Structures are given as C-alpha cells and as structure tokens.
Chains A and B, each alone.
Chain A
Amino acid sequence: MSSTPPLPRWADIGLLPVLNLMIAMVVSGLVIAAIGENPFDAVAVMVKGAFFYDGSLGYTLYYTTNFIFTGLAVAVAYHAMLFNIGGEGQAYIGGLGAGLVCLALDQVMPGFVTIPLAIAAAAVFGAAWALIPAYLQAYRGSHIVITTIMFNFIAAGVMVSLLGGVLMQPGQSSPASRTFEPSSFIPFIHEILNGIGIEAARTPLNLSFVLALAACVFVWVLIWRSRFGYSLRTLGQSEPAAAYAGIPVGKTIVVTMLISGALAGMMGVNEVVGVNHRLVLNFTAGYGFTGIAVALMGRNHPVGIVLASLLFGALYQGGAELDFEFQTITREMVLLIQGLIILFSGALSYMLNPPLARLFARLSVGPRREVQA
C-alpha cells in the first residue's frame, strides 16, 4: 500500500527523459537569451551543426561511439547495483592496452592480426583496471564508488609517466607515442564509402562504431537472456534473494565489473586505434564520466543508451558549431549547456518522478489492480 503507484513503463522510459531534456533546453535557452543571443537560432545552429553540415554526422557518430561504450559499461554494473565511476580510468588503460599491441606488432603483423588483438587487449586492460576495485568491493567491503574514482587518478598518473617516459617517441618533446603503421589503423567509414563510390567527407568516424553496436547486442543478451545476467540482476535487486538462490555474491560482483571494465576499455579502441593512431594524453576527455549520464538517461538499456549517446554526440558536435558561429557563445558556454543537460538528464533524472507519478495516479483512478486471492 505505497502512497503513489509507480509510473507506467512508457512514461518512465519515454516521457521522463524527454521532459528532463526539455527543462535543460529551456534553462539553456534562458542562459543564451541572457547573453543576448536568440536561443532559437542557437538551437538551429546546433541541429544543423550536428546532423546537416558536410561531415557533421560523421563527427556526431564518432562521439556517439565513445558514449555507447562508456554508457554500456556503467549500465552493466548498474544492473548489479554497482556504481562504476571508473569508466574514465578503465577507458584510459584500455586504450593503453590497444596502443601497446599496435606498437609491438604493427611493423611485423598485418592489420587483420593486429587490430583484433588490439581490441582484445583494450578489453583485457580495461577489465584488469576494474578488477582491483571489484575485488575490494566483493571481499573487503571497500565501496566501489570510492575505489573506482581513485583508480581514475591512478590511471591518469600511470599514463603521464608512461607517455612522458618509456613510450615517448624518441627525439620528441611532447608526451605521446610514435604513430602506428597505417596497416594497423581501423578503417575510416569515409574511406569505405569512398571505396564503394559514395562521396563522403573526412571524419573521425571509423569501424569502431560497428563494434559499439555489436557491444549493445552483447549487453542485451548478457543482461536479459543469459544465466549470468539473471544472477547479476538478482544480485542487483536483492542481495538476500541472491544469497538464498545460491548465487555467489563476490564472484558475481567481480565478473560483472570485469565485463563493465572491458566495455569501458574498448572506448580506447575508437580513440587510439581508430582516430589518433598513437597514444596521447587525455584522449578519454571526460567520455567516461559522461557515460554515467548516458546510462542514466538511457535507463541502462542498450537501446536507450544508443539514443542517449546520439543525443550527447550531437550535443558535443553541435556545441562545437555554436562556438564557431556565435561570437558571444564561447567554448565555456557550450560546456555549460552540456553540463545543464547532464545535470537534468543524469543527476536529476528522477526529479520529476514524484509529481508525474501523482499526476498519473490522479488521472487513472480506476479499478484496483492488486488482485486478491
């Protein structure tokens, strides 16, 4: 006999994110109006900049790729009620793994050997970076939020020391590795399209995008169609029920976090093997953190995550255009708008839940749905 019944499923999944997005847009609009620009013009520029200008769609999907990986990583852990804040660090170390494989093999092996190995290495390195926080959570009771955050900093430190040290290209003064041989580049989509006679502008979009979509299918099967996914969800919903069912709690936490870390690590494939073609500093650029907002907004479902990733991808790309087109709208202002969307869609994503639930309850006073024996 709770005071308000839960929202209908469609409203929770569809209506709530849209309303949150609209609030963020209205507040952003007010900010833009406050600095003297027309908010509607700004929206038009953003939409055109994200989807319609030459090559803009490629950029949007390139960002989308990163968000899908990090969003899925957060979602998998979330289904087991683990809050993996360490996507950033796991992606960073995952990229290191991919980079090390390329640096080691690109001069001796063909691409069809190097690239799959690089992808596998990204997953393994990302998983390994999640293993220690997972173990500490599962068997020592250290809270995973704290440990994964700390591991982000450790990852950053490791990368600085490696790229400024053993991995730095000899004779260079910038902290970056040498560029890989072109044979180990993941093919760009525009190259493939041009190859089959379709004119396409140069963009960073590469086949990692397909890998990201495959990861979505994998996550869906894992969570909802596999025996392990059942264990993982049971643990997430009720630890006493998991113990009752004989689900090994510690092992399930560790395996879940390994999968989560591997997904985050594969974000490094897009950046390192797909776009930069060398190891550089800070290629994760906050995608790991934004993945949290993506997962929240996408309600931890692969389809939702793809849509949310597309939104954030458009925001990143369209935001860059805003900066370009308006004198008064600076890069910082774009960050502010992105921040507002993350705030309302991510951090405050359930803010409208209670009033909306009350509204629905009032609208649908019908027969009792709790059925008596």
Chain B
Amino acid sequence: MTGQDTHHGMRGGDVSPPPAVELRRINKRFGRVHANRDIDLTIDAGTITGIIGENGAGKSTLVSILYGFYSADSGDILIDGTPVALTSTADAIRCGIGMVHQHFMLVPTMSVLDNVMLGREGGFTLTDGISKTRKRLAQLSEDYGLEIDPDALVQDLPVGLQQRVEILKALLRGARILILDEPTGVLTPQEADRLFEILRMLKQDGVTILLITHKLREIMAITDDVNVMRHGQMVAHRKTKDTNREDLARLMVGRDVLFTAKYHEKEPGAPILEIDALTHHDSRGSTVLSDISFTLRAGEILGIAGVSGNGQSQLLDVLSGIEPVQEGTIRVAGEVIDSRNRRDPTALRQVGVAHIPEDRHHRGLVLPFSAAESSILGYHLTDVAGSGLFLDLQKIEARCADLMQRYDVRPPDPQWRSGGFSGGNQQKIVVAREIAASPQVLLVGQPTRGVDIGAIEFIHKELLAARDRGCAILLVSVELDEIMALSDRILVMNAGRIVGETAHGEADPNRIGLMMAGIDPNNARDITVQETGAA
C-alpha cells in the first residue's frame, strides 16, 4: 500500500505542496494479462522516486500510462493535485512530464540541436527555432552542467552523452517530472555515476524524478522513496533510508534471495580452448575483433566484461562457429580452426562446444515451437532427437520433461509454446539444453538478461556446478556484478580488443569500469571516480 506520508514543505514553506504525481487505483489489462492492478502511487515533488520490480511486474506498463502511451482501463492520474486525462504523449508533455527511454529515441544522423528541436521547430522556416533552441540549450547546459556540443552528430557521441541529449530534450520541453526507464543498462559504471550526479542536481532544482530499474544498487544509491511492484501490483512503499537490498529483493520476488552465488576457489585443469591472434571484420569491413588471444582451462569461468557492442557478440559468434574464422587460430579439444579449417556450429557441438546465446528469442529458442522442439535446437541431428532420418517425438518430449523438472521450468509442459514461458523459464530451457550436452566448453552470452531474480540465482548456481564438473566456461555479460561474482578470471573488452585482465580476488569495479570505457586505469589519475554512496 502506498504510504500516505506527511508532505514536508520542500522549499521550507508552511503549506505542503500537493504531490507531483498521484496515481489512484490504476488498472490495465492486455487480454488475459492484468498488467496493472489497482495501482496507487504518490510521488512527492522534488524527490527521486524509484519503481523496482522484476521483468513483467508491470513497471513499463505503468510508466507508459503516465507518459500517455497507453490509457488506463480505470483509475485517476493527478499531476500537482489536478486530475488530468493523458490520452497521448503530447498530453503528458503538456503536463510537464518527460521521458528518457531505455532505447533512445534519437535520429543518429542528425545533430544534437536538430534532435532536441525535433517536434518543436517553430515556424515555417527553421531560422527562428534554431536560434531559440540554441540559446535555451546553452542555458540548460550551464544550469545543470550538461555540457554538450550542439552541432555534434548523435551517432558520433558515446552512449552516455546520447542519454544526456535525451534528458536535455525532455527538459527543453519544460519537463518538471522526468521518467527514466532503466537508464543505466547501456552505461559504464562511471557514466552511471555521472548520470546520478546530474539527477541529483536536477532534484535540487525541484525536478521530480521517477526512476524505473531492476538494479537494487541504483535504488539504494540515489532514490528518496522506493516502490516495489510484483505481478502487476504495487506491493510495497518504502523510504529508501529505512530499507536495504535484502528487504527489497524479498519484496520483489516474494521470498529470500541469495545475492551472490556461492563462489569458491578451485584450481583449473588443462587448457581446452586456446585463442591466438583472432581478428574479425564485419560485413562493412570495420574491425570488430582485434588481435584477441587468451586461454580457457577446464573447470574455469573466464568472464568477459565490457559495455555492450565492443566485440563480445562477435567473439561468441566466431567461437561458436556461426561466423567463420577470418584471421587467427582457435584450438579447441585438439582441433585447430582457422580461416582454412572451418567448423560450423554442428561440428563444434560434436567436439563439445555448447553455446548459450545472447539472444534467446531469436537464437536460443524458436518461439512458435513447443518447448520440446526447442529443447533439441542444435542437437536435432543427434541421438537425443531420434534415429535415422526421423525424429522420435516421444523420446524428445520425455527428455524435455525430465530437463524441465531438473531445472524447475514452469509450467513443466513440453508441449507448451516456447514463446509462452516467462523470460526466466525460457532461459532455463536454453541453459538446460546446453548443459545437458555435457560440453567441454560452454560459451555463455548474457545468461541473465531479462531474467527474474529467482532464475538468475538458479542459473548462476548451475554455471558454477558445471564449472566444478570440469567444464570450461566463457562468460560474456554486460552486468559487471555477474562477471565479478562468477569468474575465476576477468578479461575486459573495449573496441574489439582485450584491454585488461584481473583475477577473481583482485577485481575492482572502478578499475574495470575505466577499462571498459577504454581508459587505462594506471594513467587515469585526473579522473576522480566517485563512490555512489548514499542512503
């Protein structure tokens, strides 16, 4: 239930102002899915409020209603104490609501100025609009320390600055209530810290901020209030200073959650996968992997840290045989693979290389297939799928049912459509399939992206168990916490190169963060890294 806290006068006035946003009994259904059920939410003016919840808890639906994307089936929205009808995003913007989307809504080939001006160009010619926008942009940049070159093309800016353009765009439209949807997903830890500084500054100026995230660390670091959603309902409201990560996680999941999988030191075995001077170019000829060399041993988890898009995906594609080797050599289980000796994914599976792909919707599963059919993807030519030219459906379904039981996939129905499972259960099907092949090498890409906390815990446990059985695991993830929790060794990738390596015990998130951003941490004395300590 939403706490009806007394509103302290934010500016020291005697009369407490009305809350910036008040939602009353919001309901929204999509067919059978009750995405939002009787949601009450009060956001005090000039605060940073978090909404936290697992995937599918209804967070996105709720902010989409607040931003006018969807209209609620029932319920009231009050902005500054006044009931409003938000039937479009234009209505929301008029009410002073701005939104920074998880995936930026920018035109990459246009300049910063053009982007922030988009939709409010002014008269028939652009002259007037350009000069006014330029002036306001300069003003805003100065007020909030949001320095940016208005004439830079958006595509040339790093992700952190692109996000800044989004924030400026919202402010320029007069946003006094700023919604940020998973804003740190694409940022390095340093960029995230910088964002939080900006948010604090905006808050001091009286901007109300609503932060949607599934990262507990961020909630604890920056918010004043936090609301927890689960299964479409608002299950708790807390003052951030009165709560902690464990409490919030329990509220999100509905049970206690182990945060760090139980890592323990273990001596690795013989080298299984040796990569030497691997270089790769994409179809447009740009270099995506540059001189990559490393060795992976049996019974070892090697983590690859990096901001998304720095060559990790291509590395997985080449190692799994989806992309042929162009330059360099891969030695795996006695086989030598190079540009002349190619192996496709089928051949690599035969020598014991399994692959949990980054994108389970397009690669890991075939969504319209039944779970049983998806459970043989990549193995449909082997004995587990049948004999001779034919598939043995009974055998496949029985095996799938067995895997589902062991990996606690719900519902445990092999005939259920793959696309009908929740993200965590889909990922469990993929993980089960690949680990069941008892691979020597397991390539893992973003194993817990879009997966709920309960399933994350489970998948981490399974990966560590596979390691303990002697499997060599290459773990690629943009979640630094995940890499640090599981890896025996960590390599950091930036712009297609390996820029650093640390062992499990010596991993320092700040150093790794700098390396992820392409900065040599030993020459970075002038860059002060601020701890995101709050609450």
Contact = CB atoms under 8 A, between A and B. Distances in A.
Interface of A: 1-5, 221, 225-231, 233-234, 237-238, 240-241, 243-246, 248, 361, 364-373
A72 B31 CA distance: 35
Contacts, number: 125
Nearest to A245: B378
A361 B420 CA distance: 16
A237 B367 CA distance: 8
Contacts of B369: 233-234, 237
Contact of B366 (A5, A237, A243): A237
Nearest to A362: B31
Given A226-B390, A241-B377, A246-B349, A370 B420 contact: yes
Nearest to A1: B30
Contacts of B411: 371
Nearest to B57: A372
B322 A372 contact: no
A230 B33 contact: no
Nearest to A237: B366
B345 A246 contact: yes
Nearest to B355: A244
30 contacts: A1-B61, A2-B30, A3-B30, A4-B31, A5-B30, A5-B31, A221-B390, A226-B389, A228-B389, A230-B373, A231-B380, A237-B367, A240-B362, A241-B363, A241-B365, A241-B377, A243-B345, A244-B320, A244-B364, A244-B378, A245-B380, A246-B345, A366-B32, A367-B32, A368-B33, A371-B425, A372-B410, A372-B422, A372-B452, A373-B422
A197 to B, nearest CB: 41
A246 B345 CA distance: 5
Given A244-B320, A370-B420, 15 more contacts: A1-B35, A3-B30, A5-B33, A227-B389, A234-B380, A240-B362, A244-B322, A246-B346, A246-B347, A364-B32, A371-B425, A372-B231, A373-B410, A373-B425, A373-B452
B81 interface: no
Contacts of A366: 32
B345 A1 contact: no
A26 to B, nearest CB: 29
Contacts of A4: 30-31
Contacts of B385: 227, 230
B357 interface: yes
A364 B31 CA distance: 8
Contact of B454 (A2, A234, A248, A373): A373
Contacts of B410: 371-373
Contacts of A364: 32
Contacts of A240: 359, 362-363
Nearest to B393: A225
Interface string B374-396: 00111011000110011101000
Contacts of B35: 1
B424 interface: yes
B455 A373 contact: yes
A369 B454 CA distance: 19
Contacts of A238: 362-363, 366-367
A221 B389 CA distance: 10
A370 B422 CA distance: 7
A113 B195 CA distance: 81
B136 interface: no
A291 to B, nearest CB: 24
A234 B366 CA distance: 7
A227 B422 contact: no
A2 to B, nearest CB: 7
The 3 closest A-B pairs by CB, nearest first: A246-B345, A246-B346, A361-B31
Nearest to B362: A240
B393 A244 contact: no
Contacts of B231: 368, 372
A1 B32 contact: no
A240 B60 CA distance: 28
Contacts of A367: 32
Given A245-B377, A373-B410, A227 B363 contact: no
B56 interface: yes
A362 to B, nearest CB: 8
A227 B376 CA distance: 11
Contacts of B349: 246
Contacts of B366: 233-234, 237-238, 241
Contacts of B364: 241, 244
A258 B206 CA distance: 69
B269 interface: no
A286 B463 CA distance: 58
A49 B369 CA distance: 43
B476 to A, nearest CB: 15
Contact of A227 (B61, B377, B386): B386
B421 interface: yes
Interface centre among B355, B378, B386, by most chain A C-beta atoms within 10 angstroms, is B378
Nearest to B359: A240
A244 B34 contact: no
Interface in B304-328: 320-322
B344 interface: yes
A365 B61 contact: no
B33 A370 contact: yes
A32 B381 CA distance: 56
Interface in B418-465: 420-422, 424-425, 428, 452, 454-455
Contacts of B3: none
Nearest to B392: A225
A361 B34 CA distance: 12
A244 B390 contact: no
B390 A225 contact: yes
Contacts of B56: 1, 370, 372
Nearest to B409: A373
Contacts of A361: 31-32
B132 interface: no
A356 to B, nearest CB: 13
Contacts of A248: 344
Interface centre among A237, A361, A370, A371 (most CB of B within 10 A): A371
A293 to B, nearest CB: 23
| Most chain B C-beta atoms within 10 Å of own C-beta, residue among A228, A233, A240, A364 | A240
A240 B422 CA distance: 21
Contacts of A231: 380
A245 B321 CA distance: 10
Most buried by B among A4, A227, A241, A369: A241
Contacts of A237: 366-369
Contacts of A368: 32-34, 231
A227 B425 contact: no
Nearest to A360: B31
Nearest to A228: B389
A1 B30 CA distance: 7
Nearest to B455: A373
Contacts of A372: 56, 231, 410, 422, 452
Contact of B391 (A230, A234, A246, A370): A230
A373 B422 CA distance: 7
